[in-house]
Amino acid sequence: MGEPVELRTGRLRLSAPVEADVDAIHRICQDELIQRYTTVPSPYRREDAESFVRLVAEWWEAGSECVWALRDAEGLVGMVGLHRIKDGAAELGYWLAPEARGRGYMAEATRAVVDFAFGPMRLERLEWHAVVGNTGSARVAQSLGFQLEGVRRSGLAGHGARMDGWIAGLLATDPRIPQAWSV
């Protein structure tokens, strides 16, 4: 991929996280829900945020992952990324600061990333994985048209324990209309 690509929505600017974001990333990643439902280290140290910013630059350059910081008028409010990009597929992952939740930011940002994935990147499939019970993340995936494919028993490793995980998929050819899941 090379250079990071900036995306814009009506209310957000999505750009690669930079060194100036380290303090905000560190602060936001102290959130209990982010630590419970994502793969961020727990406890999350400032050094983890510094390392993350360095790694994102390497991932963009290698084309292995694309990660964007979500920025509203106030500053950094979350992250969204395409992870493990390979063979026409990637995994969509995201987290949002507690104070930014409930505003529709993540649905807005992920729509832009999905459009980029199926447009300029020409990916064929996106996957979404979440710990069973992460209903906030599930609502975003459902709104994008992801189809629930099942539960992976003890399918997700996190913070010393294996957890059951939902998996959903979205193909480039799928209609992007909200899906109702029975979870």
C-alpha pair distances (Å), 139 with each of 28, 57, 109, 134: 21, 29, 14, 9
> Is position 180 within any domain?
no
Determine, yes or no, domain membership for 178.
no
CATH of the domain at 79: 3.40.630.30
* Domain assignment of residue 177, yes or no: no
In a domain, 132, yes or no: yes
* Cβ-based neighbours of 181, under 8 Å, separated by 6 or more: 138, 142, 148, 168
Residue 30: inside a domain: yes
Residue range 7-65, pLDDT digits in tens? 999 999 999 999 999 999 999 999 999 999 998 998 999 999 999 999 999 999 999 99
User: Does residue 32 belong to any structural domain of this protein?
Assistant: yes
Q: pLDDT per residue over 84-143, tens digit each? A: 999 999 999 999 999 999 999 999 999 999 999 999 999 999 999 999 999 999 999 999
Strands 125-131 and 89-96: parallel
Nearest by Cα to 2 from 91, 49, 66? 66
Q: How far apart are CA 146 and CA 169, in angstroms?
A: 5
Closest CA to 29 of 46, 12, 16: 46
| Helix then strand then coil, % of the chain, to nearest 5 | 35, 35, 35
The tally of domains found in the chain comes to: 1
Q: Does residue 160 register a pLDDT over 80?
A: no
- 46 is in which domain, residue-wise? 7-171
Task: State the pLDDT at residue 6.
Answer: 98
Confidence of residue 182 (pLDDT cuts 50, 70, 90): confident
Number of neighbours of residue 46 by Cβ within 10 angstroms: 13
Q: Does some domain include residue 167? A: yes
Is 179 inside any structural domain? no
**Does the structure show a pLDDT above 80 at 158?**
no
Confidence of residue 1 (pLDDT cuts 50, 70, 90): low
